[in-house]
């Protein structure tokens, strides 16, 4: 006799994380474009760059909450929550460096942060969603999502 199988974790936390990660990645790409426009002599873009930076930090807070919800729902890698928290800290530091005009560190950290945000977004889209029907999982679904063997 087969033992009862546990239901799959809900889909909505991963969908929420995926949406927020995508928004964060798009904002970070817009931020690089705004910085480039400023460096090309369009000095009005500095204000837009500053506003976008504050929006990115706010979205990163929401992303950390979404990572907590995804982790709590189960079957995702343990690195997800610490990574999003580390990115949040890096973004706050990045903003502080920009306001302090420490441009060498600001640009370097910016490149690293954008790369990490894009990698995290890619991971979120490669991670399979649990079954939509909320049904029982199969033996193949016993492996944590987003973890390949």
In this prediction, residue 101 has a pLDDT band, given cuts at 50, 70 and 90, of: very high
Query: How far is the C-alpha of 98 from the C-alpha of 118, rounded, in Å?
Result: 21
Kindly state the average pLDDT of the residues 133-144: 49
The fraction of the chain above a pLDDT of 90, given in percent, is 66
7 pLDDT exceeds 80?
A: no
For residue 94, give every residue at least 6 positions away whose Cβ sits within 8 Å of its Cβ, in sequence order, or none.
53, 106, 109, 110, 113
Give the per-residue pLDDT at 55: 97
The fraction of the chain above a pLDDT of 70, given in percent, is 81
**Model pTM?**
0.79
In this prediction, residue 10 has a pLDDT band, given cuts at 50, 70 and 90, of: confident
Give the per-residue pLDDT at 129: 78
């Amino acid at each position: 006799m087969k033992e009862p199988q546990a239901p799959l974790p809900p889909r909505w936390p991963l969908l929420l994380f995926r949406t927020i990660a995508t928004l964060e990645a798009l904002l970070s790409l817009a931020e690089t474009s705004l910085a480039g426009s400023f460096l090309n002599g369009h000095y009005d873009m500095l204000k837009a760059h500053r506003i976008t930076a504050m929006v990115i930090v706010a979205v990163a807070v929401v992303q950390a909450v979404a990572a907590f919800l995804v982790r709590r729902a189960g079957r995702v890698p343990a690195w997800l929550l610490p990574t999003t928290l580390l990115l949040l800290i890096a973004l706050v530091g990045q903003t502080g460096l920009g306001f302090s005009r420490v441009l060498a560190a600001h640009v370097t950290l910016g490149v690293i942060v954008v790369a990490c945000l894009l990698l995290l977004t890619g991971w979120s889209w490669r991670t399979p969603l649990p079954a939509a029907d909320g049904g029982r999982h199969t033996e193949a679904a016993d492996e944590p999502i987003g973890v390949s063997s």
